[in-house]
Amino acid sequence: MKRFAIVLGLAVMLPLAAAAECASVSAGDLTVTGAWSRATIGTARPAVFYVEIRNDGETGDRLTGIDTPVAAMPMLHRTVVKDGVASMPHAEAIDIPAGETVSLAPGGYHGMLMELTAPLAEGETFPVALRFERAGSVEIDARVLSIRAQGAECDAAG
């Protein structure tokens, strides 16, 4: 009986964990989904922030910045590979064209969380406010995944 209760509990909780990982928030024509980061070892190195932004409107918007209490200097970056060397220059803004989805993901645009206020532990969440030129500020909770994670498991959420 005890084993059945444990199995039943896991069966209920695992889909909920995946759903939390893939939460979405809407503001006007924009939908922000699947915010996540990777766990960190200490605070000496920066962390990353990834998310998907869908624009269902007829007018483009621009992501102009991010804010979070877990980092003193959150900023937007883009991974660029030139002559086999990768760099991550600061991005002043990221265009979110009308009718399109833009992903902040490994190997492309991403949030760089500099000067962490505390280590990011797997399983935790933290708030991130995304600042848009037209839609204003949109806050979403980012789920901290494993240090080796490659993306949120949104397909498992339903």
Question: What is the Cβ-side half-sphere exposure of residue 85, based on CA atoms within 13 angstroms?
Answer: 3
Contacts with 133 (C-beta within 8 Å, 6 or more apart), sequence order: 61, 62, 64, 93
Boundaries of every domain in the chain: 22-149
Can you give the pLDDT of all 158 residues of the chain as single tens digits?
555 444 434 344 444 444 445 789 999 999 999 999 999 999 999 999 999 999 999 999 999 999 999 999 999 999 998 999 988 999 999 999 999 999 999 999 999 999 999 999 999 999 999 999 999 999 999 999 987 767 676 644 43
- The class that CATH gives domain 22-149 is mainly beta
Q: Rounded distance, CA 151 to CA 149, Å?
A: 6
Q: Tokens 């939908």 appear where? A: 31
pTM (2 d.p.): 0.81
Between CA 145 and CA 17 the distance in angstroms is: 11
